Chains A and B, each alone.
Chain A
Amino acid sequence: MMTAVLRVVDLEKSFLKGDKRVVALQGLNLDVEEGTFLTVLGRSGCGKSTMLNMMAGLLSPTSGRIEFRGRPVTGPNRDLAYLTQHDTLMPWRDLQHNIEMPLEVRGVGRAERAAVASELIERVGLGGFEKHYPRELSGGMRRRAGLARMLSAQPDTYLLDEPFGALDAQLRAELQADLLRLWYGSGKTVVFITHDLEEALLLGDRLIVLGPVGRVLLDQRIDLPRPRDLDQIRLEPNFVKLHKVTADALRAGSVQREEGAA
């Protein structure tokens, strides 16, 4: 019996816009089990980033709650690491010092910081770029740096918000493989948000499709073998079948939205 690391209960979030209340999420319930790679798929505006921001403790729910290991999330938590959609590397720090930053914040000594960062830089394939500033790195390298920084915090749960959305297809495939390689066998929990159907299927153990205001349209186990070869797996009959089921769910969601709007 697996235990839920993250538990979302009757979650609702709305924002005030002038004298209107815009509901981003409503009535969302979700349990994320320990060690699962959960992918969350949804079109833009379905509230998936809002959900992640609340899991990370950057936003607080309007009603309902999120629990992390049985405790309500009230603010950022060091056991949860969050890789946002946009780069948040510090432009004035070189690669090495960017990756050391989470350790620096929690007061880890200089020598240990340097050792951890060097090892991670090698693991994400950025060896030799330690002294480069973010603006001197390409988009893909900055993403790798972001991954390394997230790993250096040594959290047990990762939240990723469309981390590879802005990259070209080739680079995205490389980084997806990197992420799986870094994660596989670590036993860590991952919540990975994407609007790319294939990405959601390739990476996850479990896939959730979110519709308007965060309604769960599909909650599907992805029983594809691991470790996965991302080129081969697309050809498996099971992958093709899951692809169809998911695409249908997404389509049904958008039809509902149009009906709702009419």
Chain B
Amino acid sequence: MNAMTDRTADLTTPGDRRAAGPLEVPADRSWMERHGRTLWISLARLGLLVLALALWQLASGRLVDPLFISRPSEIGTQLRSWLSDGTLTSNTWLTVQEILLGFALGASSGLVAGFFLAIVKVLGDVLDPYMIAFYSIPKVALAPLFIIWFGIDIKMKVLLSAATVFFLVYLNTAAGVRSVDRGLIDAVRLMGGSRRQMIVKVLVPGAMPGVITGLRVGVPYALIGAVVGELVASNRGLGYLMLDSASQFNTAGVFAALVVITIIAGILNLGVNLLQRRSSRWQARPGE
């Protein structure tokens, strides 16, 4: 009888809890020990970039005709001149608008469709092969049709970009909803939850990893959609700038536009990574 009361008391003392999990002790590490590797990697990346630019600059005119590869200094000059006459700002702004609008439109419709068709399972099963078929069409191939439908202004690029993003977000969202553990759904039913509660409290948060994957994969495609749209038919935007420079054999101009597009892509990826880091604390990270 004594042993029993002892055990019961034990369960509520903090000592018992510590025995239940791994022990955590503060690790005494210097700043260099903690961040040394990150710093080293960053420096190496920067070094590689400088080296590549230097080699490019040296090779141009000596080993390769500048008509083909231009040279970093000329690209810089081109960017400065575009910047001073306003060409760069207005065209970049247009492309950025196309990307953002295209992404917003494609992602939101993809989200709605993904949840809806995964929840109304019969409809999802019926539409599935068609969705896959549309997904498989290279979206560039839709450009001529989109020109007929929407003309060659910003609308066409936004929709081309949205069409690309839509399928990526739709497919990943639907896969996310379908991957939600059946046991969790039953758990809410057992609590007496309504269908609405089941969707809001289980399906939506449970599908988040899929949704985020879809959004992350979709971001670069929003950019691709917009730029491809501009390359096919336009009179403004970074894609047009690139095409126009190429037609005048202005290689520096082509590279300058590419640099800007790369920078936009980098910024977009940075945003996506932030989004992912914020929402994934409950998920296991690699290495755990």
Contact = CB atoms under 8 A, between A and B. Distances in A.
Given A88-B184, A141-B20, A78 B191 contact: yes
Interface string B29-55: 000000000000000000000000000
A28 B65 CA distance: 89
B191 A153 contact: yes
Residue from A77, A88, A140, A141 whose CB has the most chain B CB atoms within 10 Å: A88
A186 interface: no
Contacts of A122: 12
Contacts of A134: 282
Interface string A128-164: 1100011101101100000000000100000000000
A37 interface: no
A178 interface: yes
A227 interface: yes
Given A88-B181, A135-B284, A125 B11 contact: yes
B4 interface: yes
A134 B206 CA distance: 14
A162 B72 CA distance: 69
Contact of B186 (A88, A93, A153): A88
Interface residues of B, number: 33
A173 to B, nearest CB: 10
Interface in A94-137: 101-102, 104-106, 122-123, 125-129, 133-135, 137
Given A86-B183, A88-B183, A232-B3, A76 B20 contact: no
B205 A227 contact: no
Contact of B17 (A88, A127, A135, A153): A127
Contacts of B284: 135
Given A105-B197, A135-B282, A231-B3, A81 B14 contact: no
B4, B11, B191, B282 — most chain A CB neighbours (10 Å): B191
Interface in A60-109: 75-78, 80-82, 84, 86-88, 90-93, 101-102, 104-106
A82 B184 CA distance: 12
Contact of A229 (B3, B12, B192): B3
A25 B181 CA distance: 26
A178 B192 contact: no
A177 interface: yes
A252 interface: no
B184 A90 contact: yes
Interface string B188-218: 1111110001000110011010000000000
A90 B205 contact: yes
A240 to B, nearest CB: 20
* Interface bin, chain A: 35 or more
A101 B8 CA distance: 27
B247 interface: no
A151 B281 CA distance: 27
B1 interface: yes
A77 B283 CA distance: 31
B20 to A, nearest CB: 6
B83 interface: no
Contacts of A101: 188, 191, 201
* Majority secondary structure, A binding face: loop
A229 B1 contact: yes
Interface string B6-29: 011001101011001100000000
B191 to A, nearest CB: 4
A202 interface: no
Contacts of A129: 17
A262 B283 CA distance: 49
B127 interface: no
B190 A82 contact: yes
A234 interface: no
A58 interface: yes
A172 to B, nearest CB: 14
A188 interface: no
A101 to B, nearest CB: 7
A190 interface: no
A134 B12 CA distance: 20
B17 A105 contact: no
Nearest to A152: B191
28 contacts: A56-B190, A58-B189, A76-B189, A77-B192, A78-B192, A84-B183, A84-B187, A88-B181, A88-B183, A88-B186, A88-B187, A90-B187, A90-B201, A101-B201, A104-B201, A105-B191, A106-B191, A125-B16, A127-B17, A128-B17, A129-B17, A135-B283, A137-B21, A174-B11, A177-B7, A227-B4, A229-B1, A229-B3
The 10 closest A-B pairs by CB, nearest first: A88-B187, A78-B192, A229-B4, A102-B191, A133-B282, A105-B191, A88-B183, A92-B205, A105-B193, A92-B282
Interface of B: 1, 3-4, 7-8, 11-12, 14, 16-17, 20-21, 181, 183-184, 186-193, 197, 201-202, 205-206, 208, 281-284
Given A58-B190, A122-B12, A232-B3, 16 more contacts: A76-B190, A82-B190, A84-B186, A90-B206, A91-B283, A101-B191, A105-B192, A105-B197, A105-B201, A106-B191, A126-B17, A133-B282, A135-B283, A140-B20, A141-B20, A181-B8
